[in-house]
Structure 1
């Protein structure tokens, strides 16, 4: 069996043919459904290696296994530091692979840089749709990097947004954000943290703050109904939100074990942590009253999100006929002799 290979060019072509809104909507809806149905898949906490440069980066792997069906595996590198080699490269690089569970054979692989950004935005949209006020109109973004684009896009698909306030310690990032999300046709402008916190109904923090250098957001002046998607915490000791804010809020993690290790939940004791996102998706009526209180989605990146995003990509690849099939594996004529080659 040949594996379907989707390069950056193929992924871009699929988005071009189907439209970014269709792609985002499919991932949001499929992810919501998968979480609500408590998928039978198994997703252990991600593991990996810390890198050099003061342990500010990492190379990790995130598996998702559906017994009897398939296994999806993402390898991802996080490199927030800038060197000569990385001067113009994105902070996150990723590759997704899928294996047949019965044969163990590789069935698909793709570049996952865009998919990672889309599925992270989709997760925030799912959580916000359940925990934020439905009439939310002002989005605040703390951190105006690549992830902020898909956060804004996904949230615009599920809320009647009218304005986006942007804050970044790199003024040029905040200044260029309006051009990067021009396709949303929303009012976008840079703002100071105090104004952003006091005005936004929904806030997304997606920063590269260093280990031990947080928080990046103050609880002072926060609207009492504000919902926060905390996206940037992904290392031990790296957090974006102040502890008093977390203790005053309903904190909902995506993956509990992972969030306690490297998310905002690493600041909290077990009784201070709220339900998992899957529980909120399964029983939305139970948590609906919290839409009028402060809520936090602790988004560390669940492998289920990658699995769902790959499902969507493979479906659209089949519908559009985009992709390349390749025999990636060595299949000898004689299974007992690795030096024979199948023809």
Structure 2
């Protein structure tokens, strides 16, 4: 029986055009979903694809205005008994953030796969069609369900909680941390490295159309507490410090963050290192800080936003949520 998949398009490089096979610059989000699926039809994929355009923009511009209709469209597709899985085409710059937010707020009942490309559609070596064919292979596999939201890039399958963009160029631009890829995929084959861990699980958190403001501050040598106070401002409910090393920052900054915490602002210590694991330190209890564990700053921000929106404000509960990722 042919697998029926819903494809939701948001734009990005996978739908981009350069106007030349060798041009450096290009315009993201130029190809509509109908035209894209017409091109994909020539690949002979063993799936029936129906498409819907949610947005057609550079992923640098993606945020709540796209996330809300995208989330609603995915829920609608998951509720359709004739739909076996969902594919979301997305730009690579913020792909990991959209994937993680969806992973936090969607049930793990059917495959949901995000896919992008590092080269525009008319470039030499366009990787989008292969990545898309791989995504179809993954979304068509019943074993893809129960693994949370997945990302397919460069013949690898990543979990949303682990995936991160690590290069600005080249087709192999994504890696997973602390867990590497979940499987290897080609248009003809798929090999999983382990069993599903969320089979049939409901969404972990309720969707919130409005997310509270959480600032991300990048630590650096010479950073002062006064500068952090100015950058965070007065409206933020939380701040993620992308600290040096294992979530460290100058003592002057630590004092400023303690003052913020006393005013009710949540503080998460993350790392600016590409593979940064941040454990709790002895002073976190007295300071009221949370350790991001394996989440990078941008994902730590999203998790904190979702937790606050879901009225999870107990520090121990917030830390358990970070520990669980």
Compute the TM-score of the two structures, normalised by the length of structure 1: 0.32
**Highest relative contact order (Cα 8 Å, sep 6+), 1 or 2?**
1
More helix by share: 1
Compute the TM-score of the two structures, normalised by the length of structure 2: 0.33
